Chains A and B, each alone.
Chain A
Amino acid sequence: MLLPFVIITDLRKMELAIELILFGILMGLIFAFISLGLALIFGVMNIVNFAHGEFLMVGMYVGLLTSTYLRLDPFLSLPIAAAMGFLLGIASYRLLIKDILRGPMVAQLFGTFGLMLFLRYLAMFIFGPDIRTVSSGILVGKSVSLGWVALDLSKVVAAGLCLGLFVVVYWIINRTKLGRALRATSLDAEAARYMGIDTEKMNALAWGIGGATVGIAGGLLAHFYYITPTVGMVFILIAFATVALGGFGSISGTFIAGLIIGLIQVIGGQYLSELKFTFIYLTYFLTVVFRPRGLFGW
């Protein structure tokens, strides 16, 4: 008598499991993409950028503003978001990071921390504390259905773009002359200078590329996530956990770790939604304590 019920509930469970895994992978790709710039900057110059989440926030506001004031589709704002992120990265390096790199560890920490606060409260000053969303655009509010699972179209596109851009960044770092110069700078800046590499330029470029990738991520995130000046805090901690799990500075590690964190967050959030970030913080904590190199670090 009970057998059909068991099968039905099992099917439901299966469906739910597949749905959760799909959502987790989508979120994971997005997390990985958000974390990419952080990993890149850490890899090249061994400094953790606390303002990374605020770079993301800037990208989100670019998406919001181009769609509200320029009446452009937010999807078309991605190049603008990338350019803004690039300039922001370069400007941060030239105006602040260059100076704090000479100081002690504490100064480095507080320097990027100050940058984080500055950008966040600048946004608060300009836009106020209100929560906003992007309401129109070719991707907003649409979904694709795979059988019984309906996936947000903007998330699917974001995940797809993330995959593509990961490949591009991986290719730049590992296959081009520029990437070789960046890697040389990260291994031994002094020796790189002797080889005629302009390490100052490489550092600035790492910040530029890091800023550009997270700017694009922000532009994509604006499609389906609420936008406030303080939104960076949520994602900076996810990015820290991702980069730590992947191994600070490892690009492919960041990718895998992003997927794992995405699954942890989605599956944890399904059962204990109030504590979904706690799982991520604990992941960071357990990773750095028990395996400080991360999964793929060196």
Chain B
Amino acid sequence: MGRILGDIFSFGDRPVSERIGFIVFILIILAFPWTVKLAYARAVMIKFLLFALFGLGWNLIGGYGGQVDLGQAKNVGFGAYATALMMFHWKIPFWLTVVPGMIFATAESFAVAYPMFRLRGHYFAIATLCVALVWKELFVFWDWTGGARGVEIPIKSTPNFAYMQFGAVGYHYFIFGLFMAQFLFMNWFRKSKLGYELQAVRDNEDAAASLGINVTATKVKTYCITAALGALGGSFITVYYLYIDPDLVMPLDLSILIAMTVMVGGAGSIWGPIIGAAILIPLDMYLGAWLAGGGRYGIDFMIYALIIMIIAAREPKGIWGIVERIKKSR
């Protein structure tokens, strides 16, 4: 027990500069709502934390596992819909809806994982994409889930902690809490037995198998954990927006954006998803809003696309890869 706790909170393997940097980052986030009063900036901050959370989850399968999963949006959708439907149909408080959503996402991922992991590379990526799109079509088709119209959560007149409805500052600390919990989980995971096995599988499957690692079981376990983490973020989306539909919580663009934040920041590193989200989300929200105001759509995604192409062609390890290389060369 003590060892697990130690692994969760210990950053002993990271250099002092990184540890100081992370503490500064935490302090900035904590002080943010007290210093910035602009509603839009607060919304940007919450979305950044949300995508950093998504990125941390996806980094498991995509970064540490090296499996390009382009279907994370389906898990976000499961979480969001579990919360929304249970609140809407049965008035169940938020806190009791999170775990069922995570369980559903895990179970679904477990069910498709075994056939899926017979595939590698492109075949796997396209298969994840197909499964996610099938689920989206089913949710559009199905009446009980609100179909294409989506689900609207009844708004409470006063701040309510059972249904998690309160102002922007509350959501800021709420998502930050979820983010920190997941970050600490990741910090434990990367040093756990499964974490090391996973990285061995990523680097060389045959060598990992010859060391007695069950390659498929390792991938399947990771895939299921990733799914559960995605569903957690989805539940937050429901109470934050108080409205969901398949185009909001399950679109392909969401899967892509999650994967891209990790790729841009640096897949397979603990800081990568945070760096990626810190670059892409403000870019999207400020540039996108500014240009859409002038009637121009899409330039934010064009810049994303350029960044991702340059990174794929020049620096597949992302921005964190550049940082590490500079450090080594000094």
Contacts and interface: CB of A to CB of B under 8 A. Distances in A.
A277 B137 contact: yes
A289 B115 contact: yes
A277 B131 CA distance: 11
B122 A48 contact: yes
A292 B298 CA distance: 36
Nearest to B131: A285
A121 interface: yes
B141 A107 contact: no
B267 A106 contact: yes
Interface string B247-258: 000001000100
A118 B305 contact: yes
Given A122-B298, A275-B141, A285-B127, A117 B134 contact: no
Contacts of A278: 133-134, 137-138
Interface in B96-148: 115-116, 118-119, 121-123, 125-127, 129-131, 133-134, 137-138, 140-141
Given A237-B133, A240-B126, A274-B137, A121 B299 contact: yes
Nearest to A102: B313
A48 B119 contact: no
Interface residues of B, number: 46
Given A48-B126, A121-B298, A274 B140 contact: yes
Contacts, number: 132
Contact of B309 (A104, A115, A123, A241): A115
Contact of A124 (B126, B297, B311): B297
Contact of B305 (A48, A99, A117): A117
Contact of A118 (B116, B130, B306, B311): B306
- Contact-residue size bin, chain A (C-beta under 8 Å from the other chain): 35 or more
A241 B130 CA distance: 10
Contacts of B129: 237
Contact of A117 (B127, B308, B316): B308
Nearest to A243: B126
A237 B130 contact: yes
B313 A100 contact: yes
Interface in A110-160: 110-111, 113-118, 120-125, 128-129
Contacts of A121: 297-302, 305
A103 interface: yes
B313 A107 contact: yes
Main SS of the interface on chain B?
helix
Contacts of A118: 302, 305-306, 309
Contacts of B314: 99
A93 to B, nearest CB: 12
B163 interface: no
A18 interface: no
A275 B296 CA distance: 33
B282 interface: no
Contacts of A231: none
B151 interface: no
Contacts of B121: 105, 109
A213 to B, nearest CB: 20
A192 interface: no
B118 to A, nearest CB: 6
B174 to A, nearest CB: 31
Nearest to B309: A114
Nearest to B114: A289
Given A99-B314, A282-B134, A109 B140 contact: no
B316 A107 contact: yes
A284 interface: yes
A153 to B, nearest CB: 31
Interface string A234-256: 00010011001000000000000
Given A117-B256, A118-B306, A274-B140, A103 B313 contact: yes
Contacts of B309: 96, 111, 114-115, 118
A59 to B, nearest CB: 19
Nearest to A229: B298
Contact of A114 (B141, B296, B312): B312
Given A117-B305, A275-B137, A111 B127 contact: no
A118 B316 CA distance: 18
Given A278-B137, A288-B119, A117 B312 contact: no
Contacts of B297: 121, 124-125, 128-129
A281 interface: yes
A108 interface: yes
A288 B305 contact: no
B316 A292 contact: no
A20 interface: no
B85 to A, nearest CB: 20
A122 B133 contact: no
Contacts of A292: 118-119, 123
Contact of A277 (B118, B119, B133, B316): B133
Contacts of A244: 123, 126
Contacts of A163: none
A233 interface: yes
A210 to B, nearest CB: 16
Interface of A: 48, 96, 99-100, 103-111, 113-118, 120-125, 128-129, 229, 233, 237, 240-241, 244, 274-275, 277-278, 281-282, 284-285, 288-289, 292
Interface of B: 66, 68, 115-116, 118-119, 121-123, 125-127, 129-131, 133-134, 137-138, 140-141, 252, 256, 259-260, 263, 267, 295-302, 304-309, 311-314, 316
5 contacts: A110-B263, A111-B308, A117-B301, A240-B126, A275-B141
3 tightest A-B contacts by CB? A124-B298, A121-B298, A118-B305
